[in-house]
Chain A
Amino acid sequence: MSILKIENLKKSFGKTEVLKDISFEMNEGEVIAILGSSGSGKTTLLRCVNFLEKADEGKIYVDDKLIYDAKTAQKMSAKDQRENQLNFGLVFQSFNLFPQYNVFENVTLAPKLLAKEEKNTAKYAEIDKKAYDILAKVGLSEKLNNYPCELSGGQQQRVSIARALMLDPKVLFFDEPTSALDPELTGEILKVIKSLAAKNTTMIIVTHEIEFAKNVADRIIFMDDGVIAEDGTPAQVIDNPKNERTRLFLQKFNELK
């Protein structure tokens, strides 16, 4: 049984076809890194799966249950969409923390709103405890009362990872999580992602850090011009690319190093 299945996903913006028929499956506990040059559709793919964009065609399944069908997407109720949304977590390139709330509030806001809706405010203590635990795991126990503007980029990104983990997503997505960070701070984020991988967190990571992808991912998908050009283990895709575009991309990357 696959935890996530994408079937024939297509997305255009005006006349530009950004995703041209994307299909893949992933298993629970798997870590997939998506590589590809800018404009290849990586981010759009993530945004479509997380309902930030509506795919024009295609289906998305979670645990073999259909949660998105482009044909009926217009009719999906806000309630259903939210429920489906909660299968996934997304860590943004630019963190998108809520600036007026401190670290602890940023992490607990959404779960507490959910508990409040379920008229289960008794759950608050449990949420608080979980927040302490998760923030400790990402090394931010000292920063609970700080506001995002008082933190470094790396610390902010760790808060946003903690915020996503609070809702126990079945699949956690990262959209170029280190692109806004300098190399020194990049390391601390990669360390956190590695520790999540060690705990069998199911993750899809869009990244430009090829070395990191090779180390942490079970599987690498190389995207080019809206299609999956290559899909395999790091050894297959990075060390022995079959596709011409993948070869060129990796070659350029190696030249830069």
Chain B
Amino acid sequence: MSSLASMTVPEVILNLLEGFAQNGIIFILTLLFAIPLGLVITFGSMSKWAPLKFLHNFYDNSEKGIAYSLLNFIADFKPVQALTRTFVWIIRGTPLMLQLFIFLYAPGLLFGVPNRDRITAAIIAFVINYAAYFSEIYRAGIENVAKGQYEAGQVLGMTKTQVFFKVVLFQVIKNITPPMSNEVITLVKDTSLVRVIGVTEIIMHAERFTKAGIIWPLFSTGLYFLLFNGILTILLGKLEKKMNYYHN
């Protein structure tokens, strides 16, 4: 390999493209896993399972006071929902950059198995982080489908599964496409964060040129992101338009 300082422009572009491929891989794998994982988290955060509901029977409705309120609170406790929402709060409430370090170092610190595979750590951190965001978008999308849609399905003798897949799902997808597009575009740019744990993505590649005394490659990396996001914007816009044949 020729020294960085003596590279021709096409060689520099190719070198940066190699780095951008890393961003692309993280982007695609994150979407691939976070989209379904997000749905699992959504079901968790919408869970209505309250195992202590029977406690409601022990108190007369007419009684008031602290003991009654406390019992009510315990009886209404939904463990799956509480656990999932706490998880989402932690993931959304802390920096993704910090989560990258945690997923890199935690296996070694907790189980004595040092994680030397930085890319895997990066992908796991990204999948979990984005799944948490996606889950909230899905939840809003599901909650926005009118109750009457479920009821109409039920009185027409459709099963719950049929109502979900034949009636509700498409409306949810239509509801969530604009906010999901936003997240997808943010994800493209966020992939550059992985360099903090030493994954050689495009900006890390470019910084090597900066150290060798050439600054323009670093600035040029913006064009790669712009171009990629430009294509995504067009594709997602088309998808949105395709579903706009009806409105509620």
Contact = CB atoms under 8 A, between A and B. Distances in A.
Asked if A pairs with B, the answer is yes
A98 B145 CA distance: 11
Query: Chain B at the A interface: mostly helix, strand, loop or mixed?
Result: helix
Interface in A145-162: 147-149, 160
Nearest to B169: A100
B54 interface: no
A186 interface: no
A51 B158 contact: no
Contacts of A82: 157, 159
A14 B61 CA distance: 9
Contacts of A200: none
Contacts of B61: 14-15
Contacts of B146: 96
Contacts of B58: none
Contacts, number: 62
Nearest to A97: B152
Contact of B246 (A15, A96, A149, A160): A149
B116 interface: no
A1 interface: no
B164 to A, nearest CB: 13
Interface stretch (A27-35, A61-69, A108-116, A187-195): A108-116
A248 B146 CA distance: 36
A11 interface: no
Interface string A133-150: 000000000000001110
A96 B245 contact: no
Given A78-B159, A167-B157, A96 B152 contact: yes
Interface in B199-248: 245-248
A97 B148 CA distance: 9
B149 A98 contact: yes
Interface string B142-171: 000010110111111111101000110011
B160 A78 contact: yes
A149 B244 CA distance: 11
B148 to A, nearest CB: 4
A163 B248 CA distance: 18
Contacts of B166: 109, 113
A98 B167 contact: yes
Contacts of A98: 149, 152, 167
B82 to A, nearest CB: 24
Interface in A76-101: 78, 82, 85-86, 88-90, 92, 94, 96-100
A43 interface: no
Interface string B32-73: 000000000000000000000000000001000000000000
Given A85-B154, A86-B157, A96-B148, 11 more contacts: A14-B61, A51-B155, A52-B154, A52-B155, A85-B155, A88-B155, A92-B152, A100-B246, A113-B162, A148-B246, A167-B157
Interface of A: 14-15, 50-52, 78, 82, 85-86, 88-90, 92, 94, 96-100, 109-110, 113-114, 147-149, 160, 163-164, 167
8 contacts: A78-B160, A90-B155, A94-B148, A109-B156, A109-B166, A149-B248, A160-B152, A163-B156
